[in-house]
Amino acid sequence: MRFIDRMARIYESRLWYPIVLNIYGGFRSPSLAQLISTVTQKLQSTEGRVLDIACGPGTYGRRIASPSREVIGIDVSMGMLRQGAVYVAKEGIPNVHFARARVEALPFEGGLFDAVICSGSLHLFADTVVALREMARVMKPAAILSVFTFGAGSGGILKFRTVRERSRRKHGLHVFELAEMERYLTASGFKDFQPEMRGSILTFSARKTR
């Protein structure tokens, strides 16, 4: 956690995202700007409350907040949350709030959110289905989930099965097969799985079932 807290200031810089995306996803991976565009475009028609899971310094949530769209970002890292608050104040962004919380026990009542984004973290959760079910619990019926994570694709070091297996065993990094991801979503109360794979970078959307 201390490492994550310390890296908050460089999280959106060239010292982090481009390196991680190129190594794990491959040299044809989307850039951070492209990922932000892909993830947030899925929420273009959404108004109301958006929950940003494992938000870091609000990398994605800050870009979608507006007078008609309130973003609440949660993370376990106080360093990330504090850096996000600095960015929000500096950039004068309305309707962005931060709270320290775990995805496995979200401190919100059921059916509160009109959308959820989860970018760069789903592969790190200990139990994917538990995390997805908790997201679904706090979402309204038919609300959209927009995700960036890692998939078993054709780029970067994650294209090698031995690397994926070792990453899971040693570091808890879950690299998803598409069929596996769809099963997890169905088991968690989602439908309309819409995946896109670029290298080993997986973005997708799904909707909470009614």
pLDDT class of 81 with cuts at 50, 70, 90: very high
Residue 181 CA neighbour count, 13 Å, CB half: 24
pLDDT tens, residue by residue, 61-79: 999 999 999 999 999 999 9
Average pLDDT over residues 101-107: 97
Residue 30 is predicted with a pLDDT of: 93
Average pLDDT, integer, range 163-186? 96
pLDDT at 47 (0 to 100): 95
Domains of the chain in sequence order? 2-208 (3.40.50.150)
Assign 1 a pLDDT band (cuts: 50, 70, 90). confident
pTM, full prediction: 0.95
Q: How far apart are CA 3 and CA 1, in angstroms?
A: 5
What is the layout of strands, in order, in the sheet containing 201-208?
Answer: 96-100, 69-75, 48-53, 113-119, 139-150, 201-208, 190-198
Burial grade of 172 (CB within 10 A; 0-12, 13-18, 19 or more):
exposed
pLDDT value at position 28? 84
Average pLDDT on 143-166 reads 97
Task: Tell me which of 16-20, 143-147, 189-193 is least confident.
Answer: 16-20
pLDDT at 207: 98
